[in-house]
Structure 1
């Protein structure tokens, strides 16, 4: 019988470019632990500290910092140096008093954008799917692999069902309570998380196509009045009249 399951080995040549690894310096890279984000949509904690942020010089130093519980991801200390950090995750380094939010970048794919410690106390999560559980309650499946259960008082008339797929929830950290709900609709502010316009942000002007959501196209207007179009599934709402999170300069250049 053949070997089952994936491999835990990863060569630097096959690692994502946004990890900033020197391909010819060493042969092997850190393989992220299976978790909330896929391999090519995450950054292992040790790579984030050493290669992307440059806060430690060696993997040994990074492992000491991480294992001591000084690094928080989404408000919780993570002691696994291979823990995957992905889109919209918040990372707080306690000793230096700095916090970051992982955002899409036009060139690097994913990049840590520095935010205040207060802003790191919440997170935006997109609803990827909805399911009904036993008792008629509603389960929201979020983009980071987590689920949120919405209690329904009357399954025959679920008035609590206010959410649609691709809407975004603002969750407080670390208790993950819903603080706000942003629908993907005309007039809201959004950032693009895939395609050739990845990393750009703007206000949604038009949603066309259909009837399936994945067949729709969304037109956004950038800060300088430029228009760009992207598939519906690449749009991540971040606010109504203004973004709920701080956005870097590269996102506002459109």
Structure 2
């Protein structure tokens, strides 16, 4: 039993701090499947249905709801109750007429931020890197593990607006001075502000960005900045825009 538990489940006291479960209530919780998001930055679908949305009283009821195809992630039905849901994913409950975007709050916890049904047709994806493949096409690799081919001129750090679920590029947000950025890591996680200066180093030191917010400014790593728009965010955020 211990071997089976270690493969299929995760001990609660070892679960990430942002999971909304009591570490001592039971011994085990569900272990996420391998997928687009690492365990440190994701929530299993069962935890979302049972513990966050509370539309199921227990794990069995949550599995039934998920297996019936009542939950969509990025426009696709997901029937794996262990599927890892992470930053910027769009969750829809068509029967209930509700939709959410997964975002960090200022404590670094992943939260389900309610969105209007009309905002479920697109997703923001940060370009992590890009490669040239056979035929001269450029493949963009995104923060959520997906990728797409493009002829466009995009750089690492730019954010692509993807239609979902077909993954067609609808628009883009350049990583540049004056854009609005959401901080996704470090002590300023969950805060947003204006990109004032991008510092590119020519050494092993990481690139940094100066962010201005409410008259104050701070420096953070470039990799922690997720741009959301030029003059205002394209999406609503926890606590308002």
Q: TM-score under structure 2 normalisation? A: 0.93
Instruction: Quote the offset at 1:179 in angstroms.
Output: 0.7
User: What's the Cα RMSD here?
Assistant: 1.8
Q: Secondary structure in 2 aligned to 1:16? A: coil
Q: TM-score under structure 1 normalisation? A: 0.88
Within a 5 Å distance, the mapping from 1:226-241 to structure 2 comes to: 226-241=216-231
Instruction: Name which of 173, 182, 198 aligns with 1:182.
Output: 173
C-alpha contact (below 8 Å) 1:214/1:232 kept by paired residues: no
Establish whether residue 25 from structure 1 lines up as the match of residue 25 from structure 2. Answer: yes
Within a 5 Å distance, the mapping from 1:126-145 to structure 2 comes to: 126-145=126-145
Counterpart CA distance in 2 for 1:204 and 1:53 is 34
C-alpha contact (below 8 Å) 1:105/1:199 kept by paired residues: yes
Instruction: Quote the offset at 1:119 in angstroms.
Output: 0.7
2:232 paired residue number: 242
Within a 5 Å distance, the mapping from 1:1-254 to structure 2 comes to: 7-150=7-150, 160-211=151-202, 215-222=206-213, 224-249=214-239
Counterpart CA distance in 2 for 1:148 and 1:12 is 36
Instruction: Quote the offset at 1:213 in angstroms.
Output: 9.5
1:157 paired residue number: none
C-alpha contact (below 8 Å) 1:12/1:23 kept by paired residues: yes
- More deviation, 188-197/47-56: 47-56
Structure 2 gaps of 5+ residues are 1-5
Counterpart CA distance in 2 for 1:140 and 1:213 is 24
C-alpha contact (below 8 Å) 2:108/2:190 kept by paired residues: no
Instruction: Quote the offset at 1:9 in angstroms.
Output: 3.4
Instruction: Quote the offset at 1:109 in angstroms.
Output: 2.4
